[in-house]
Copies of this chain bind each other. A is one copy, B any other.
Amino acid sequence: MSEARAERSFVSAQQVAELAGVSRSAVSRTFTEGASVSDVTRQKVLRAADLLGYHVNHLARSLIQEESLIVCLIGAEISTPYQSRMLEALTRRLQRIGRVGMFINTSGESASFEAALRQTLNYRAAASIVLSGAPPESLIRTCVNNGQQVILINRDNHPEGPANVSVDNHQAAREAFHMLARAGCSTLAVISSTAGTPSIVARERSFAAAAAEAGLKVTVVRSGPTSYATGFEAGRLLLSGSGRPDAAFCATDLLACGFMDAARYEFGLNVPADICVVGFDDIEQSGWSAYNLTTFRQPVDAMADYIISLIDGSGVEDIERGRFMAAPVWRRSVRPR
């Protein structure tokens, strides 16, 4: 029972107590913030713990405290520049407030979203952050009912219950139109994807609406998922025929990169002389010299800060604060006036 040496197995507080010659509670108190232990006892415990390689079992701790320090991050396609940047921002901050992010990848099967949300409950996660995918209303309710916080990023089609953190796509898309209009463009295209996420749909629609107000028509191309390849394919489709557009608003920077490459390397076009391009997100690659893409920046850090404040309880739960503006980033893919 009193195995002093930790042999290929986790050490318990009991073992530490025995070695230190104190009670189990003394060990517990030593590792509990703000508990009262004498310095002598604490030192004895710490020495023994170090010797044995003891580490508090958070699983057992969470059992008592009814809630774990785990925050679930639910999403697909992490390897995407935008998603991975958001993930980086979130995990870093979670770490800072003593929480830890558990990643649940829903990329695989389509039905896996249900399994994902179930897992967040299995681990008694204090919160779930949904980065992508379409969470069924019923599942979200289950989480909320279980006292779990649910935070949705850029999927503002869920009107109530979970907290929403999103970018003002409408405003930005309108501004994108005016950018292009001011540059003298009149044959407009929207490069989008078949993903049909709320963000992308909103960008498409708002751009088209702004154009319609100005009496202009818009060609929308959706030739696949939200990726570089899809943007490239869209360029191929759109630029081969007659009546080539002189401007393209891309629902995503990734699409924009693909589209620009098709324009340049498949059709020998010059951006922005022959065709102006505007993107969305401001991923790292947009700033690379090969692209120099004029786009709208999602304020990832500010959004992450806000999300953390929600989890931390430190921030005001102001319902309107979940909306962020996407500021234009002027580079060189749009002709100056």
Contacts and interface: CB of A to CB of B under 8 A. Distances in A.
Interface string A305-330: 00000000000000000000000000
A85 interface: yes
B95 A108 contact: yes
A100 B260 CA distance: 38
A81 B78 contact: no
Contact of A146 (B11, B85, B100): B11
Interface residues of A, number: 68
Contact of A85 (B68, B79, B289): B79
Interface in A138-191: 142, 145-147
Interface stretch (A117-125, A207-215, A245-253): A117-125
Nearest to A91: B105
Contacts of A78: 78, 84, 87-88, 91
A214 to B, nearest CB: 32
Contact of A118 (B55, B66, B146, B291): B55
A123 B310 CA distance: 24
Given A58-B123, A96-B108, A145-B6, A77 B66 contact: no
Copies per complex?
2
A197 interface: no
Nearest to A266: B289
A118 B53 CA distance: 10
Interface string A1-38: 00000111111000000000000000000000000000
Contacts of A118: 55
Contacts of A290: 257, 260-261, 264-265, 290-291
A119 B291 CA distance: 41
A79 B301 CA distance: 13
Contacts of A122: 55-58
Interface of A: 6-11, 53, 55-60, 62-63, 66, 68, 70, 73, 77-81, 83-85, 87-88, 91-92, 95-96, 100-105, 107-108, 112, 118-119, 121-124, 142, 145-147, 228, 232, 257-258, 260-262, 264-266, 284-285, 288-291
11 contacts: A7-B145, A10-B121, A10-B124, A59-B60, A78-B78, A78-B87, A79-B81, A83-B84, A92-B107, A95-B105, A95-B112
Given A57-B122, A79-B81, A81-B81, 5 more contacts: A58-B122, A79-B284, A84-B84, A91-B104, A228-B284
Query: Top 5 closest A-B pairs, CB basis?
Result: A84-B84, A55-B121, A261-B289, A290-B290, A79-B88
